[in-house]
Each structure stands twice: as structure tokens, then as C-alpha cells.
A and B are shown apart, each in its own frame.
Chain A
């Protein structure tokens, strides 16, 4: 007899998400992911000036606004026929690259690691690091206080099988604090070229408004080297240490086994050569991406608009009380199949394509973790892929920085036509991101976003196929139904963003 366990809210993600699981004999037999917030961006955008779009869509997500801004300006570049100058393309890569670094570091340390690391280990700290000594005193004072929630926001938590190794726990706690400064630094680095974050000011169709000066190049270079040192010497070693402490998580949370990437970071003026390539992997067979095969099913989603439309014809008509619907997320499908998107998808697709940097990093990671490539399709594989990608992107940023031409334009002018359509395909830190725009009478006629977490956390479709996260949860063993930490670990490995996914 199955019992139902709700995890509502699933915290330490962006936005609002909940998970319902049916558990039988200690294992998840069925799982349902619900996007719990709807704002209606696509509805709000209709009838507006198209240039508003790149600013408004950034407000979809405070974690990855640049990715939304870039998707929008790529769609508009296509629509207006802009030939973006090299400086514009490179600076966009640098700003988005910085967002990847910020997001991946935040996800590992601040959103995920405390599911594995024992935060309480700080109370047993006996070393000489003044920062950790202060943290220990703070925790001791808290625990001895009459506070309502002593030690919050780190306590209370699910109790479970946290890491036992004091050295790992203490190092990870110290790095949680360091990583707060590192993610902030990644934002600062982007802001040299984008004005402010979250919600960048310099992204426009045609390029980037900010000029390229030696001051910014030098400052970016300095910040980047601090970040690369952290990634190489702290982030990747910590992922390896957590992987060594939890080897079973290379066999947990496999998912649907289908992967999709639009690719990101154009390396050529025509935008066709990408640093992270596009592609599809189905049953381990690589294929080229065919965007015409994308549809959005709304069978289990709270929308009354037609199901199965291509995003260029997409509609968003809310129906909060829709019978049998359990999520605000639509269910994107590729040739009818659910697809996992994100760092794991990108890394596997690049690995299959023989991408030099990625192959080296993956092989190195596999050698150190002593697992086979198939084991990457797992909770720990997603964390490993994210760290690998973070390093590859940070390293590549140095090359883009070198290609900048000081004091040359980063922006071209253009004319907005009366009507037309464009699509902007890119990657957010958490996966493939597409914006479809069409305009009529100089105004937005239709705007549709298909977002990474919409793919990953999608609900069931008309064929009854569960979404990737729902599939990844099936079969997961839960030791204590009142503390379903195993479920939370699987879901968080996808780095969900509920705000993005519904928009």
C-alpha cells in the first residue's frame, strides 16, 4: 500500500516548487512535480514595444536574468537582421559566462551541498581558523539561546545520512562562506560590462551598450583569475570529495536518459560555431538538433490553451481550476519525448561530439571518481558535470577577453520592421533556453519562452509520459518518510528554477 509524501515547499531552488511522491516498500513508485507560481509574462508582453522584451524577460528569473536577456536579444537580432560586431558577441559571452560561474557556484554550495554536508560538524571544530572559530561561537550561542529557531537558516533540516568525515564537513562549511564571496565576485565581473546585476542594463539587440576599455579588460581579468583559482582548487576538489563520500549517488536519479542542448557561446560572427555545442542524445545516440520537433503539451498543466503547439505558435491561457492539472509548468517534448537539459546534457553532448576541453575534463573526473561514463546520468553526475562546465567556461572566458578589441564598437544600429518573427536559442546555467517572438504593427504579437526547468520539471503529457525529474525519482529509496532527504537530493541535482519554468 503506497503512502503519499508531499515536499512542499521544495526550498533552496529559485521560485516555488513542490513534489508529491507515492512511496511503496520504502521506494518512490510515482512522483509528481508541481510548479506553484504563475505570473503570465507571455500574456503581459503581448502588444508591447519589442525593445521592452529584453528588460521584461530578465525579470523572469533573478538567478539567470542574463540568459533570458540574451535569448531575447538573439531573437531580436534575427528579426531585425543585426550583424553583431565581434566585441558585442564576445562581451555577451563574457557576461553570460560570468552568470554561469555565479550560478554553478551558488547551486553547489548554497543550494545543494547542505543536503550532503553536516553543518552541525562546526560545533566540534578545534582548529585555528578565526572565521570558523567565529562561526562555531555563533552556532553555540544560537543553540544555547531561547530563540524560536536557533541556528536558522541552517537549522532545522531533514535529519539523514550526512557526511561523517570531519575534514570534509569543516572544509565544505568554510567553502560555503568563501563561495558567498566568489558568487558575488562573478556578478561584479559581469557588471563591468552590464551595469548591474541581477537584471543587466547593457543587453540590446545589435550588441552591447557598454564600451570596451582597458580598465574593464584589466579588472575582468583580475576577477576571473580569482574565480578560476577557486574553481580549480576548491569547487572541483569539493565535488570530488562529496562524490567520494556518497558514491551511491552515481547510481541514483538517472532520469529519462534523453538529453537536449541548443548550445551556447558563439565563437564566430554568424553565430553558427558554438563553444558548447547543440545536439540531442536519445538512447545514447547523438543527433543534430531539429527545432521544428519541439512542442509544448499542457495536458497536466493549468492552461486551457491548445496542447502540443510549437512554441512559434504557442499560447498561454491560464485555467487555475483545470481538472486533473497539477502544475503551472507546460510539458515541452522533443519529437514527443521528454528531454533532460542542463550541464549534464551539455557535457554529455559535447563529450560525444569529441569536444577537446570537455573530453579532457570528463575523463579526468571519471578517472578520479572511478566510475564509467554511464554513471554520469545520476545525481552525482549532474554535480560533476556542472563543475566541469564551470571550469570549461571560466577558462574560455580568458580567451574571449583576449580577443576583445579595445575602443572598437560593441553595437550596431538597426531598424525595427513592421512585422516578422525571430527565435533566440541559448543556454541558461540550468539548461536549454528558447525565446520565440513575432511582431505585427511594430508591437509584440506573440512571445513564448521554453525554459530549462520547464523541460526538466515538466508534468505528465497526453501520452502519460512523466517528466525527467519525475522519472528520476521513480525507484529512489527513502529511509525515513518523515525526512525524505533522498528525494530532495535528486530534485536539487537538476538545479530547478520554478520562477523560470512557469514565468
Chain B
């Protein structure tokens, strides 16, 4: 399954199978921090299939600390974070979920420290920083126009603070579990995957939503939905599938059950840098309701 996700051939399968053992032997400690986030990328990760969530927690990752899952609370939790940073220096992958409130440090606090400070310390000792979700990768909703906290992406924060650690970016609101697990597996077994200019793994973000969409055929045949609930391509309702790059329409969501364009909601571009950012660009278009011809008397 993982090999399929990564588009790797059969010879890679056995090496991926080894990955679990290598990781279990202590190769891959992960420190997972949450900034200005909704925890949706964490919940999404727990929706993973093959490996499922139990395997991820106990075999694929050694989750030194994760705010939603760790038994550790209070000082036990901050001690766990600090010992990971001090004792696994240079070894651990730092996953950052959420944006960083650069202009209002008090807008996100963990253990008496603002998330910016904590991120700086944790990133400085990390082998790799993995920004998970659109908030971490681009700023997302917390960084939308007129936001009060000066929220910034992990990449921007790292540049501003001169933190020079390899960065891999997994945008999506939330990030698809296959993208996160696939990238982690690649990092652990093969090193850094092939990335594009925005630090995204090429394997997941090189095709547009539109070209793999089930409704693409309707677009080609000029069949457009005029209102929500209609059949046809959703372009005239605001779907931004043609300019959004991710493999959702092929992979689908929640164990291949459905996807935004298939269910008629349309793509709102949640993997893009511009997602939700400008208040003058509406997510949906609302064509005027079509007037019904008067009933013949």
C-alpha cells in the first residue's frame, strides 16, 4: 500500500517493510508540536490505512511527544519535550502542525513558552522539519487577511529566524494521511523525497485536482452545475480544481470513500498558498437563481 502510495516498484516493497523494524529499533523519534492549528491534521493522520493508526503509533513512529495522544500531561509533558530536544539532538523529525503567531507570541503558549520560542529550540536540534497542513506550510486560515496574530508559515519563520534545517512541506486542510505517512516512510528509509520549489514531495502534488476529477468529462462536454446539488462540472460554482495541485481526486479521502469534487462541494484549493487568504476572493460563486418559466394556465 505504501509502495503504491509512493509510486514505487515491487523491489521497494520489501525495503519499506523493513522500515517498520528500522523505526522500531530507534531510528526515528518524532516530536509533534501544534501551533495555531485545529488539530485536524492529527485527526486526519489517525484516519490512515495500511498502516493503520495503531501501527503508526507503535511501529512507524516513535512519538516522543504529541499533545493529542501523549499520556504525559503538565510538567511530565514539558519534560518529555525537553528531553527529546536535548537527548535526541540531530536525530528526530520535528513535525509542526499549525502556523506561528509572529506578531503576537502570547497567542499560542505551551508550558509557559510561546510556540515560536519552542519551535526555534526544537527545530534547531531536528534532523528534518516537516510542516504538516496548510497552516504550517503557508499560514492558512490563521494567516488570512486581517488576522490579528501576524500568523506565518513554518518556512517564513525559519527564514526570519535563520534556522537552517531541511524542510519538507505537506500542505492540505487537512493533510491527507497518505501524504504524511508516505513522506515519513520515505524520509526514514530513503532520505528526503524529491521535492518541488515549495518543498512539497513531487509524488503527491504534481497533478491538478481537475485532470484527475470524475467530473472532468463533464467539463470537456460543457456540462456545468448551475447550483449546488446539480450534476456536471462544478467550475461555475467556484471549484478551483484546475489550479490546485494534489492527488485527492485520484486517491480520494477517508479510505478511498469520497472526495470534495465527487460529493458536489467542489475544490476550495485547500492545498494552495492562497487558500482562504484574501477576503475579496470568494470560495464559491453564486450564479443568480434561474427564474422558472411561469406555469402555463
A135 neighbours in B (Cβ, 8 Å) = 58
By beta carbon, the residue of chain B nearest A302 is B106
The number of chain B residues touching the other chain, given as a range, is 35 or more
Q: State the CA gap A195–B257 with chains docked (Å).
A: 8
**A247 close to chain B: CB less than 8 A:** no
Let me know if A59 and B71 touch, CB within 8 A.
no
The answer to whether residues A201 and B266 also contact, given A37-B107, A411-B229 and a CB cut-off of 8 A, is yes
Q: Does A156 contact B286, Cβ atoms closer than 8 Å? A: no
Residue of A nearest to B49 (CB): A184
Asked whether any CB of chain A lies closer than 8 Å to the CB of B124, the reply is no
B260 to chain A, nearest CB (A): 4
Whether A152 contacts B63 in the complex (CB less than 8 A), given A39-B141, A43-B147, A195-B253, comes out as: yes
Q: How far is the CB of A442 from chain B (nearest CB, A)?
A: 9
Determine the distance from Cα of A312 to Cα of B77 in the docked complex, in whole angstroms. 39
B121 at the interface (CB under 8 A from A): no
Q: Say whether A158 contacts B76, CB under 8 Å.
A: yes
Chain A residues in 8 Å Cβ range of B62: 147, 149, 152
Max count, chain B CB within 10 A of own CB: residue among A37, A40, A63, A321: A37
Q: Which of A14, A52, A146 contacts B283 (CB under 8 A)?
A: A52
Is B228's CB under 8 angstroms from A62's CB? no
B70-A152 in contact (CB<8A): yes
CB-CB nearest in chain B for A34: B109
Residue of A nearest to B86 (CB): A148
Task: Give Cα A44–Cα B59 distance, bound, in whole angstroms.
Answer: 40
The reply to whether the CB of A464 lies closer than 8 angstroms to some CB of chain B is no
Q: Are B228 and A63 in contact (CB under 8 A)?
A: no
Which residues of A40-91 are within 8 A (CB) of B?
40-41, 43-44, 46-49, 51-52, 55-56, 59-63, 65
Tell me if A336 counts as interface (CB < 8 A to partner B): no
Whether the Cβ atoms of B83 and A153 lie closer than 8 Å is no
Q: Which residue of B lies closest to A68 (CB)?
A: B38
A200 to chain B: closest residue by CB: B265
Contact B141 A157 (CB under 8 A): no
A198 touches B282 (CB 8 A): no
> In the complex, which residues of chain A have a beta carbon less than 8 angstroms from the beta carbon of B264?
195, 201-202, 209-211
A149–B144 Cα distance when bound, in Å, is 37
CB–CB B38/A192 < 8 A: no
Which residues of chain A are near B101, meaning CB under 8 Å? Answer: 38
CB of A153 within 8 A of CB of B66, answer yes
- In whole angstroms, what is the CA distance A204 to B76 when docked? 44
Write out the residue numbers on chain A whose beta carbons fall within 8 Å of the beta carbon of B112.
6, 8
Q: Which residues of chain B are near A157, meaning CB under 8 Å?
A: 71-73, 76
Q: Which of A10, A61, A187, A302 contacts B254 (CB 8 A)?
A: A187
| A101 interfacial by beta-carbon distance below 8 Å | no
Chain B residues, CB < 8 A from A484 = 74
A65 to B41, CA, bound (A): 12
Candidates B80, B141, B254, B260; contact of A156 at CB < 8 Å = B80
Q: Tell me if B24 counts as interface (CB < 8 A to partner A).
A: yes
Q: How many A-B residue pairs have CB under 8 A?
A: 303
CB-CB < 8 A to A49: which residues of B? 282-284
| Residues of chain A from 398 to 413 with CB closer than 8 A to chain B in the complex | 409-411, 413
Residues of A within 8 A of B213 (CB): none
Give the distance to chain A from B43, nearest Cβ to Cβ, in Å: 5
| A155: nearest chain-B partner, CB-CB | B71
Total interface residues on A, CB under 8 Å, equals: 96
Binding-face segment, B5-13, B29-37, B161-169, B182-190 = B29-37
Which of B34, B255, B263, B282 is close to A202, meaning CB atoms less than 8 Å apart? Answer: B263
What residues of chain A lie closer than 8 Å to B79, measured between beta carbons? Answer: 156
Q: Which residues of B contact A43 (CB under 8 A)?
A: 146-148
- B84 close to A51 (CB less than 8 A): no
Query: By the criterion CB–CB under 8 Å, are B84 and A148 in contact?
Result: yes
> What is the chain B residue whose CB lies nearest that of A483?
B76
Q: B38-58 toward A: CB 8 Å interface, digit per residue (1/0)? A: 111111101100001110011
With a 10 A CB-CB cut-off, give which of B41, B47, B79, B151 has the most chain A CB atoms. B47
A194:B258 contact, CB within 8 angstroms = yes
What's the Cα separation between A272 and B255 when bound, in Å?
36
Q: Does A10 contact B253, Cβ atoms closer than 8 Å?
A: no
In this complex, the member of A177, A198, A414 whose beta carbon has the largest number of chain B beta carbons within 10 angstroms is A198
Question: Inside 8 A of A209's CB, which chain B residues have their CB?
Answer: 228-229, 263-265
Q: A60-B38, A135-B58 are in contact. Are A7 and B107 (CB under 8 A)?
A: no
Contact B74 A6 (CB under 8 A): yes
List A residues 124-178 near B (Cβ within 8 Å). 135, 138, 141, 145-149, 152-158, 177
A97 to B162, CA, bound (A): 47
Q: Residues of A contacting B296 with CB < 8 Å?
A: none
- B142 CB-CB contact with A under 8 Å: yes
Judging by beta carbons under 8 Å apart, are B109 and A40 in contact?
Answer: no
Contact between B253 and A196 (Cβ–Cβ < 8 Å)?
A: yes
Bound-state Cα–Cα, A192 to B283, Å: 23
* Extra 12 A-B pairs, beta carbons < 8 Å, given A197-B43, A199-B40, A488-B73: A6-B112, A11-B73, A14-B68, A38-B101, A38-B104, A41-B141, A43-B147, A48-B279, A110-B69, A158-B76, A204-B228, A328-B107
Q: List 29 A-B contacts (CB under 8 A).
A: A6-B74, A7-B73, A8-B112, A10-B74, A38-B101, A39-B151, A40-B148, A44-B147, A49-B282, A52-B283, A52-B284, A61-B39, A62-B39, A114-B71, A138-B58, A149-B65, A152-B70, A152-B72, A153-B72, A191-B258, A195-B262, A196-B248, A198-B174, A201-B265, A209-B229, A210-B264, A211-B229, A211-B264, A318-B148
Hey, which bits of chain B sit against chain A, CB under 8 A?
24-26, 29, 34, 36-44, 46-47, 52-54, 57-59, 62-80, 83-84, 87-88, 101, 104, 106-112, 140-142, 144-149, 151, 173-174, 227-229, 248, 253-255, 257-260, 262-266, 268, 270, 276, 279, 282-284, 286, 288-289
Q: Which 7 A-B pairs have the closest CB atoms?
A: A62-B40, A201-B265, A209-B264, A411-B229, A195-B263, A49-B282, A196-B253
